[in-house]
């Protein structure tokens, strides 16, 4: 499994792809190589229902001819077709419409000193360990009084990483890991059945919550849903479950997305500097959190991350 952590071959291919693009006539180019490895298991009533493993390496090339650009991708592991791929990409770019915003990042934006964000857990996880973890969650959930069935338990492990090389001289790589456990419980019987779930996910296996805790909490949540009552119509306070927070933040982040603003498809298109949430709500995009699930030392263009206050606060 140790070879999966070695990105040196991917880095060489990315650099070779950029060089092929320059030889084909591109004014500028960048190549992004991605690696994705995952292993997942699912059990139900103590039996293994599904096990899946995948390993994928993909290289993407972006070429620019003036302010015209094109993007192509390949899974060629040896690079034997890089020259013809780059030629086709350059031909596509010459036929594309000019984009005044197309271009590589400027040198001052590149991440030169990559921070150690501790994103990669090198713990080797076996399928047997994942099955045992899923079974532990399910057993704990089924032991909760009122839980009548299992919707299934799962446990997974994955690696993902990128290598970026640009014609402007930037070269960088990073990789991260992810572990997870989840369980879905069913409570009640007949038409009065309810279901709920719980999960834990972390970059490091040691940071996961105990699988049995996940199972019990899912079972307790399902049982609490039993016997819902109808309330009279009126103006009432609303209390959101903590799990709803990501959905609310996601809706705001989607509305603030640059492409949505450019297309005019967002309700926040003209809200810069305006109050859109209560004063005590701050939404911050910070990709530098140690062991953060979305943290990274540089983005897909090689730009160094920084803490950005999207709503309230100060960057």
Instruction: Report pLDDT digits (tens) over 241-280.
Output: 888 888 888 898 889 888 888 788 888 888 888 888 888 8
User: Rounded to an integer, what distance in angstroms lies between the CA atom of residue 78 and that of residue 247?
Assistant: 42
Helix H or strand E encompassing 179? strand 171-187
Global pTM value: 0.87
Cβ-based neighbour number of residue 160 at 10 Å: 17
What pLDDT is attached to residue 313? 64
Q: Which residue has the higher pLDDT, 248 or 84?
A: 84
| Position 79 pLDDT exceeds 90 | no
Torsion of Cα atoms, 26 then 27 then 28 then 34, to 10°: -10
Q: Give the confidence band of 240 by pLDDT, cuts at 50, 70, 90.
A: confident
**Domains of the chain with CATH codes:** 2-224 (3.30.2290.10), 244-311 (no CATH)
Cβ-based neighbour number of residue 216 at 10 Å: 22
Contacts of 291 (CB under 8 A, 6+ apart): 117, 118, 119, 202, 203, 204, 207
Q: Give the confidence band of 315 by pLDDT, cuts at 50, 70, 90.
A: low
Report phi then psi at 217, rounded to 5: -65, -40
Contact 197, 185 (CB under 8 A): yes
User: Rounded to an integer, what distance in angstroms lies between the CA atom of residue 169 and that of residue 29?
Assistant: 10
Instruction: Give me the DSSP letters along 84-107.
Output: HHHHHHHHHHHHSPP-TT--PPPG
What pLDDT is attached to residue 127? 96
What pLDDT is attached to residue 125? 93
Q: Give the mean pLDDT of the chain.
A: 93
* pLDDT tens-digit map of 134-154: 999 999 999 999 999 999 999
R_g (Cα) of the chain, nearest Å:
24
């Amino acid at each position: 499994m140790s070879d999966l952590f070695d990105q040196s071959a991917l880095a060489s291919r990315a650099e070779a792809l950029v060089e092929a693009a320059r030889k084909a006539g591109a004014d500028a180019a960048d190549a992004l190589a991605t690696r994705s490895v995952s292993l997942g298991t699912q059990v139900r009533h103590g039996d293994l229902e599904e096990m899946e493993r995948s390993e994928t390496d993909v290289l993407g090339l972006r070429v620019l001819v003036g302010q015209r650009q094109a993007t192509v991708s390949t899974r060629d592991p040896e690079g034997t077709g890089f020259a013809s791929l780059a030629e086709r990409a350059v031909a596509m770019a010459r036929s594309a419409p000019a984009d005044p915003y197309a271009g590589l990042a400027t040198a001052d934006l590149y991440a030169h000193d990559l921070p150690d964000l501790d994103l990669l857990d090198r713990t080797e996880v076996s399928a047997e360990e994942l099955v045992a973890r899923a079974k532990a969650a399910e057993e704990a959930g089924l032991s909760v009084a009122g839980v009548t069935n299992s919707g299934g338990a799962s446990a997974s492990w994955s690696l993902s990483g990128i290598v970026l090389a640009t014609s402007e001289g930037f070269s960088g790589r990073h990789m991260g890991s992810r572990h997870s456990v989840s369980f879905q419980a069913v409570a009640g019987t007949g038409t009065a059945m309810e279901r709920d779930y719980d999960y834990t996910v972390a970059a490091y296996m040691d940071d996961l919550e105990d699988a049995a805790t996940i199972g019990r909490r899912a079972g307790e949540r399902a049982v609490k849903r039993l016997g819902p009552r109808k309330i009279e119509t009126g103006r009432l306070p609303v209390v959101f479950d903590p799990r709803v927070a990501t959905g609310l933040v996601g809706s705001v982040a989607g509305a603030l997305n640059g492409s949505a603003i450019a297309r005019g498809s967002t309700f926040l298109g003209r809200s810069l500097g305006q109050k859109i949430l209560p004063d005590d709500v701050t939404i911050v995009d910070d990709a530098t959190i140690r062991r953060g699930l979305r943290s990274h030392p540089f983005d897909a263009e090689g730009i160094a991350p920084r803490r950005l206050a999207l709503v309230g606060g100060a960057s």
